[in-house]
Amino acid sequence: MPSPAVQFACDNQPRFLEQLKGLLRIPSVSTLPEHRGDVRRTAELLAAELERIGLEHVALIETEGHPLVYADWLHAHGRPTCLCYGHYDVQPPDPLEEWISPPFEPTERNGSLYARGAVDDKGQMYMHLKALESLLRVQGGRLPINVRVILEGEEEVGGEGIASFVQKHPERLQADFALISDTEMFAPDLPTLCVGLRGMIYTEIEARGAATDLHSGMYGGAAPNPFFALCQVLAQLKNSDGRILIPGIYDDVKEPSAGELAAWRSLPFDEREFLRHEVGSTALTGEPDFSVLQRLWARPTLEIHGMPGGFTGTGAKTVIPAKAAAKVSMRLVPDMAPQKTFQMYKRHVESLCPKGISLDVRLIHSGDPIVIGVDNPYVQAATEAMQEVFGKQTVFVRSGGSIPIVGDFERSLKIPSVMMGFGLPDDNLHAPNEKFSIANFYRGIESLIGFFERLGHG
Ligand code: BES
Ligand code: MN
Ligand code: MN
């Protein structure tokens, strides 16, 4: 027999999905200034929804960037307090021409809902609200445990606002654990808890050569080219085996435990399948001495994201640009520290600077790597709740992605996080045709209800 709350969620599935579509129609792209109003409108919509379902102290909390949305319900005396976290901002939708249906017109296709933010993270964040709504509706406005909700609109741009709020006002988010649905399941139908994330440093290197753009015929051969300088520098940061060449960079890398490695080996992972269906290239790269999962979850990386500058229009323009830049990030694993890593990186990049060029190496944002202890009642309840809904044993994985706030929750609030995600490996996060399995949206809500109910029974 499903609980009354699960029954309520079941009966209301079509409405939940329509409401999610409404949320997805607002282009809350946090990195683009022209969407500032849309980001705020999304926050307001969520605040109104939290109010409507019966949470208290609903408020928009202003930050230097986009607002936080807060709400709570704290009347389950003697029960634990859950901090529900999610982010309502999304990545930019480009390249637009690759989308089969427009990014901000949520469209159902093959059992999935396609839209920017469908899985990362609006759809997953919304599951929390719908689970809470279901519980509140059938229990006369009460919840089985205490809940605080905190939603941010800057996760995709580094999350400065929430980080400083957590640091300044830890008491306002005081809880026993955080609950985050912003990760993926390891495989379809395989209930998964994420227990580790990589950290990151996101940097920009600006190279300057001549005082102004130059005619490449009149000056080429004598004047320094900042793009070439960047190519030379970048090419020396990693070798063809994927090994990062910054001195000392691996010193603090902590090996996963033997138990963890054994568990990863027993996950249903097919390297060829991964190459063909997820990556879609002809070969995988990276350190040959480590398994693919180890490379993704427990090894640092260095990637180039873009090189703005110079001429990128149609056709040809013969110019030696005065300046050029490279956006470069590193993913960090336990126990690498972002500040220390950045200093090593910066020093090394500067040491490689070619003559006639000046380099400016800047840190844009950073976040700590994290591993979560699984030995607590919250992870235990989550394991059981997912198991019950999916009818399979829950697996523990790490993820190569980053959610900077998880480290802040641990450091400032001293609480563990339960990362219960329902994305799928092919959901196209940050890419064209992002989607969220509609079945997983519903199963996610059901799992979350089960999770809250379990913790309420003590
Ligand atoms: N939800 C993702 C992180 C993620 C993706 C975790 C897949 C686990 C599995 C999050 O929204 C994200 O994209 N984070 C950024 C962080 C950054 C901008 C600080 C990332 O990982 O690039
Ligand atoms: Mn996310
Ligand atoms: Mn993301």
Atom 16 of ligand 1, residue of closest alpha carbon: 402
pLDDT at residue 319 in the model = 97
Q: Which ligand is nearest to the CA of 86?
A: 2
Pocket of ligand 1 (CB under 6 A): 120-121, 155-156, 158, 182-184, 200, 365, 367, 399, 401-404, 429
Q: How sure is the predictor about 210, in pLDDT bands with cuts at 50, 70 and 90?
A: very high
| DSSP classification of residue 318 | -
Atom 14 of ligand 1, residue of closest alpha carbon: 402
pLDDT at residue 1 in the model = 84
pLDDT at residue 265 in the model = 97
Structure tokens belonging to residue 389: 């809904």
Which of 31, 155, 408 should be mutated for ligand 1, with most atoms under 8 A from CB? 155
Tell me the CA–centroid distance for residue 415 and ligand 1, in Å: 20
Average pLDDT over residues 370-384: 96
Map out the domains of the chain as residue ranges: 4-197+369-457, 200-253+300-365
- Please provide residue 90's backbone torsions phi and psi, each rounded to the nearest 5 degrees: -130, 165
Average pLDDT over residues 374-394: 97
Distance CA 227, CA 324 (A): 6
Q: Does domain 200-253+300-365 have CATH number 3.40.50.800?
A: no
Tell me the CA–centroid distance for residue 264 and ligand 3, in Å: 24
Which of 87, 122, 156 should be mutated for ligand 1, with most atoms under 8 A from CB? 156
Distance CA 60, CA 415 (A): 23
Which of 429, 435, 436 should be mutated for ligand 1, with most atoms under 8 A from CB? 429
Distance CA 402, CA 367 (A): 7
Strand locations in 2-77, DSSP E?
A: 56-61, 68-73
Tell me the CA–centroid distance for residue 100 and ligand 1, in Å: 23
Which residues touch 132 (CB under 8 Å, ≥6 apart)? 53, 55, 73, 84, 143, 147, 149, 452
Residue 329 alpha carbon, nearest atom of ligand 1? 22
Summarize pLDDT for 46-67 with one digit per residue, the tens.
999 999 999 999 999 999 999 9
Distance CA 346, CA 353 (A): 11
Structure tokens belonging to residue 291: 């398994």
* Whether pLDDT at 261 is above 80: yes
Return the sign of the alpha-carbon dihedral for residues 92, 86, 408, 160.
Answer: positive
Summarize pLDDT for 389-414 with one digit per residue, the tens.
999 999 999 999 999 999 999 999 99
Summarize pLDDT for 283-321 with one digit per residue, the tens.
999 999 999 999 999 999 999 999 999 999 999 999 999
pLDDT at residue 190 in the model = 98
Contact status, residue 458 vs residue 77, Cβ threshold 8 Å: no
DSSP string, 150-201: EEES-GGGT-HHHHHHHHH-GGGG--SEEEE--SB-SBTTB-EEEEEE-EEE
> Can you name the residues that pair with 303 across neighbouring β-strands?
329
* Positions marked active-site: 89, 155
Residue 156 alpha carbon, nearest atom of ligand 1? 18
* Whether pLDDT at 458 is above 80: no
Q: Does domain 4-197+369-457 have CATH number 3.40.630.10?
A: yes
Return the sign of the alpha-carbon dihedral for residues 344, 347, 351, 357.
Answer: positive
Tell me the CA–centroid distance for residue 3 and ligand 1, in Å: 33
* Whether pLDDT at 421 is above 90: yes
Residue 157 alpha carbon, nearest atom of ligand 1? 18
Residue 159 alpha carbon, nearest atom of ligand 1? 19
Quote the distance between the C-alpha of residue 271 and its chain's center: 24
Q: Which ligand is nearest to the CA of 365?
A: 1
Atom 5 of ligand 1, residue of closest alpha carbon: 401
Tell me the CA–centroid distance for residue 123 and ligand 3, in Å: 12
Percent of the chain with pLDDT over 90: 99
Check if 4-197+369-457 and 200-253+300-365 are the same fold.
no
Structure tokens belonging to residue 215: 């005619």
Distance CA 244, CA 252 (A): 14
pTM across the whole model: 0.94
